[in-house]
A = this chain, B = another copy of it.
């Protein structure tokens, strides 16, 4: 139990260190790859950029369907993947769901990739 807590602490502490600084552990690589997978899709990247470029970095799902040219269920699926990965937060107001960029989430990945 103590060992597990220690491992968790180390992972959390080194989550944002640039990957060029020292070799990633297997656990760190698994975590980072799962987050990268959420970004490794053209529709999700477009949805993320549309939300991010919207006023207050928030958009109604009703305004996200037409720009990407996909069905509502498909758009909702992609938004769920981005939400589960921690890049978007979801709130429901009236009939529609609204998605907002989670502050710092993209920057965290940006910091991991920087080399200089």
Given the contacts A36-B40, A106-B113, A113-B107, A46 and B20 also touching, CB distance less than 8 Å: no
- By the criterion of a CB under 8 Å from any partner CB, how many residues of chain A are at the interface? 39
Residues of chain B with a CB closer than 8 A to A93's CB? none
Q: A21 contacts which chain B residues (CB < 8 A)? A: 53
The minimal Cβ–Cβ distance linking A25 to chain B, given in whole angstroms, is: 8
11 contacting pairs across A/B (C-beta < 8 A): A20-B53, A23-B67, A26-B42, A29-B42, A29-B45, A33-B39, A33-B41, A33-B45, A36-B39, A103-B115, A107-B114
| A interface residues (Cβ-Cβ under 8 A, vs B) | 19-24, 26, 29-30, 32-33, 36-37, 39-46, 48-50, 52-53, 57, 67, 101, 103, 106-107, 109-111, 113-116
